[in-house]
Amino acid sequence: MFNKPDLQKNEFMLTGPLRRKGYDWWWHSFTGRNAKTGEERAFFIEFFVCNPALGWEKPVLGQLPENRKRGKRPSYLMVKAGTWGEDGTQLHRFFPWKDVRLRGKAPYSVSAGDCYASDTVLKGRVDITPEEAKAHPEWMCGSGSLRWELLIEKQTAFNVGYGTSHLLRFLKAFEMYWHVEGMKTGYTGSVWYNDEEYIITPDTCYGYADKNWGRNFTSPWVWLSSNDLKSNLTDEVLTDSAFDIGGGCPKIYFVPLKRKLLSAFWYEGIPYEFNFSKFWTLTRTQFDFHETDDDVFWHVRQETTRAVMDANITCHKKDMLLINYEAPDGTKRHNRLWNGGTGTGTISLYEKSRGTLFLVDEVSAGHIGCEYGEYD
C-alpha cells in the first residue's frame, strides 16, 4: 500500500557521485486567499540544491556565458518561489554552499539567510527587480517579491516503493527519483506577493509536497495531482482523497523505459495504484499531451489487473509558466516545460471483476498541479 510516510526518502540524497553531478529538490504548492479581497491565488516554493562538491564561496551558475564557455557545472542552493496566474512569475534566489546549513538525515532541514525548509516549517523570501531580471538572464527568472511563513502537515503519502528502495537509491540506478511525502498537505500561514497578503489555511489550500533527485530530468516530463475532488455521482466533496501522476521516461542505468508513469489514487481511504515497477500488477499506460493557442491538455489511461484510471486534464496557458531548471551537467534541456497549479479535469475510476469494468466514481478535480515538457 502506497500511503506510507517515509521521512528517510525525504532526506538529502546527494551522496557519492551525486555530490558532483546531482540535484535534489523539495517542492511545495498550495492556494491562498487575498486577505482583503478573498481572491484565490496559487503559489509554489521549492528548495533546489545542485552539485554540492563543486562550489563553496559563491554560487556557480551554469547558464552564465563564461561558465558555459569553460564547461563549469552549476553548484548552489536555489530558492525558487512563484505564483501562477495571468501576472504569474517564477523567482530564483541563489546561495553559495558556504552559506547553506543542511541537516541531511531525517528529519531533513535546509536553510540559508532568512530561507528555511523542513518537513514541518517553510519560511523565506525572494525579491527580484525588473532591472535585475533583465541584467541576469543566467538567473532564469522573472521579477517580483514573494515572502512566506508557513507550517506544514503532510497528510497523505505516495510512497512509490521499489523505484526508491534503499538498494536502488544506494546504487544510484535511476536517472531521476521521485518521492511524495504529501500528495495531500495542509499549509497554515501567510504569503505576501508584491506586498499583498494571502492567507493559507489547511481546508482551502489544496496543498502538495514532494521531492525529486538524480542526475538529469526525464523527457517527456509529466506531473498531474490534486486533492480538490468532488464525486459527480453523489455530488459530495471527497475529503479523504487525492491523486498523483508522474514520470514520462524513467532511465535505469541509462536504459530508457519509454512512456512509463507512476500513479496513485487515494479514494476515500481506498488505495488504487498504477506502478510499472510493481510488475505483478501488469500495469499498462497510455498518455498524450497536446496544446492549442490558449490551452494545454493531458489524457492518461492506466490499467492493472484490478482497476482502471482514466484522466482528462486541461489548463489555460495564460495561467501557466514555462518553468526553468538547469541540469547538473550545466545544460538547460527543458526550454518548454509547461507548469501550472490551476488545472481542471475529470478522473474516471473503475474496478475490474472477471473481465468486466465497474465504475467506482467519476470525479471532478480542481486546483490541479500540472506539468509537461519534452526535449530532443
Residue-wise pLDDT for 20-77, tens only, equals 999 999 999 999 999 999 999 999 999 999 999 999 999 999 999 999 999 999 999 9
62 contacts: CB under 8 Å, gap ≥ 6: 68, 72, 73, 74, 138, 326, 327, 330, 331, 332
pLDDT in tens, 149-201: 999 999 999 998 755 545 444 445 668 899 999 999 999 999 999 999 999 99
Asked if the structure places residue 323 within a domain, the reply is yes
pLDDT in tens, 105-150: 999 999 999 999 999 999 999 999 999 999 999 999 999 999 999 9
DSSP helix/strand/coil, 165: coil
Q: What is the CATH number of the domain that holds 173?
A: 2.40.370.10
For residue 374, the tally of other CB atoms under 10 A from its CB is 16
Number of domains within the chain: 1
Asked if the structure places residue 204 within a domain, the reply is yes
Asked if the structure places residue 325 within a domain, the reply is yes
In the chain, which residue ranges form alpha helices assigned H by DSSP? 65-70, 130-135, 166-171
DSSP helix/strand/coil, 296: strand
Domain carrying residue 90: 7-373
What is the per-residue pLDDT for 331?
A: 96
Asked if the structure places residue 1 within a domain, the reply is no
Asked if the structure places residue 298 within a domain, the reply is yes
236 CB-side CA count, 13 A: 8
Asked if the structure places residue 125 within a domain, the reply is yes
For residue 279, the tally of other CB atoms under 10 A from its CB is 9
Asked if the structure places residue 316 within a domain, the reply is yes
Residue 214 has pLDDT above 60, yes or no: yes
Instruction: Tell me the three cell numbers of residue 16.
Output: 557519492
For residue 36, the tally of other CB atoms under 10 A from its CB is 9
- Spatial CA neighbour of 312 closest among 351, 368, 360: 368
What is the per-residue pLDDT for 168?
A: 47
For residue 304, the tally of other CB atoms under 10 A from its CB is 18
Asked if the structure places residue 2 within a domain, the reply is no
pLDDT in tens, 289-325: 999 999 999 999 999 999 999 999 999 999 999 999 9
Whether 61 and 74 have beta carbons less than 8 Å apart is answered as yes
What is the per-residue pLDDT for 162?
A: 56
Give the lowest-confidence range in 190-204, 249-263, 317-331: 249-263
Q: ∠ at Cα 210 (204, 216), nearest 5°?
A: 145
13 φ, ψ (degrees, to nearest 5):
-110, 0
What is the per-residue pLDDT for 253?
A: 57
